[in-house]
Homo-oligomer: A and B are copies of this chain.
């Protein structure tokens, strides 16, 4: 190890130590030395020296000169949720495989924070920006367009950028059918089924409601507006809305289509605290959580296929031409049916 008495080692320092030139050192260290006809001997010497002295390249300098940062950015609403965190994790893993460095920002579903995060990412000259669960994806898409940076939406449709989303309608349809089957098997096919959770402005929620209604219609059931509670995702909201519903109905519905694990939390908490037997109610949740599955094996879940979605994202990244405002849908898989 070198003495770190003052500054970090640069290629100029190495050049001096190796009695060579900065350009040669640079070529050796970035692997282009063969093209530059640097002798094997000198290359070895420089590599050994760099290693011995603990040289670390300065990525800012490289990025500046190359006019390529090697960074991809991702904006997520939050981490502490199995869905978004697995998205971030899968994205980072795939980016790493491609030699790209990932930066992720968490914007709490706040449009202002989203804009600010996008601004920073563009300032760091990300080569691609992927937005997940943003509230204002088009604003970000426009910033990216102005900067000439390709932008993708994940889990949300944007009008101004290509997007990869779950097949929300089809997934919801299948989940609903599974719920109805379970209800019929339990001998109570006529009991009410409640759709709860999500937001009205949210495209995913709207699609899922449509799938829900469509599935019921295919079974000859009509869906009253009072059986669709779009109360927000938050656990507490869902809990309050559900309690209202149960009080109006005089008891819990026969089955529930719960639109996210967050809402599931509120519903289950309420049911358990009131002493209801979860096994007596058919539960389906659009989204997946392994702990929920462990606690309630009969819980049906539409698990969004994160690995496949990330794969599609990179396919769109690879072929920007093909991507032109396309929308790719990925079918979630049903768990516990």
A101 touches B120 (CB 8 A): yes
Within the complex, the shortest CB–CB distance from A1 to chain B, in Å, comes to 6
Contact of A231 with B by CB under 8 A: no
Residues of B within 8 A of A145 (CB): 4
B56, A64: Cβ atoms under 8 Å?
A: no
Q: Is the CB of B56 within 8 A of A122?
A: yes
CA distance A105 to B82 in the complex (A): 17
Neighbouring B residues of A292 by C-beta, 8 Å? 291, 295
| A79 touching B69 in the complex, CB below 8 Å, given contacts A58-B125, A295-B292 | no
B291 touching A4 by the CB < 8 A rule? no
- Size of the A side of the interface (Cβ < 8 Å), in residues, is 60
A124 proximal to B (CB < 8 A): yes
**Residue contact A119 to B265, C-beta cutoff 8 Å:** no
Output the least CB separation between A199 and chain B (Å).
20
One of A83-91, A206-214, A249-257 at the interface: A83-91
Q: Determine whether the beta carbon of A272 is less than 8 Å from that of B291.
A: no
Q: Answer whether residue A185 sits at the interface, using C-beta atoms and an 8 A cutoff.
A: no
- Give the CA-CA distance A302 to B273 in the complex, in Å: 21
Tell me the number of copies of this protein.
2
A328 at interface, CB cutoff 8 A: no
A1 / chain B contacts, CB cutoff of 8 Å: 146
A266 contacts chain B at the CB level, 8 A cutoff? yes
B80 touches A86 (CB 8 A): yes
A104 within 8 Å of B by Cβ?
yes
Contact B148 A4 (CB under 8 A): yes
Listed A/B pairs (13) with beta-carbon separation below 8 Å = A4-B146, A56-B123, A59-B120, A59-B125, A60-B69, A64-B64, A79-B79, A79-B85, A89-B106, A102-B103, A264-B294, A269-B294, A291-B292
Contacts A56-B122, A58-B123 given; 19 further ones with Cβ under 8 A? Answer: A4-B148, A8-B147, A8-B148, A54-B146, A56-B123, A59-B123, A59-B124, A60-B69, A60-B124, A64-B64, A79-B85, A80-B86, A101-B103, A102-B103, A104-B104, A235-B294, A264-B291, A291-B292, A295-B296
